[in-house]
Amino acid sequence: MGARYGAPAPRTPAPRLNKPGCLNCLYNTKRLADPADGLACTLAVSLQQRNEQWRALKAEQNAAMKAEKAKKHANAAAREMCEVIMGAREPTSIARDIWMNRV
């Protein structure tokens, strides 16, 4: 089938980035002939940096949310233990586990 339609077109290598915002990223040394290619490279690098910043922000938010959730869980377990000790109610499995680990 390749002989029928001719050889496939040769593929050009993807440009490699020297540093963020570079305008000479093709083959690491040659200056780009088309300034739009340099702009596309710069935009791609800035988009990548923005994505990394967004991921870092989301990771920080997730860590804060998990810490808050753990704090609420610990407070609820402590409140339940106080109620159990005072005889106000029967312990649940969480309070029982905490009691067994602490005693």
Q: How many CA atoms lie within 13 A of 98 on its CB side?
A: 17
The pTM of the whole model exceeds 0.95: no
N residues, the chain: 103
- pLDDT score of 66: 94
**What's the average model confidence in pLDDT over 4-14?**
64
pLDDT digits (tens, 9 = 90+) for 77-92: 788 777 777 777 776 6
- pLDDT score of 85: 78
Q: Is the pLDDT score of 54 beyond 60?
A: yes
Q: Which residue has the higher pLDDT, 26 or 36?
A: 36
- pLDDT score of 9: 66
Domain ranges of the chain: 13-102
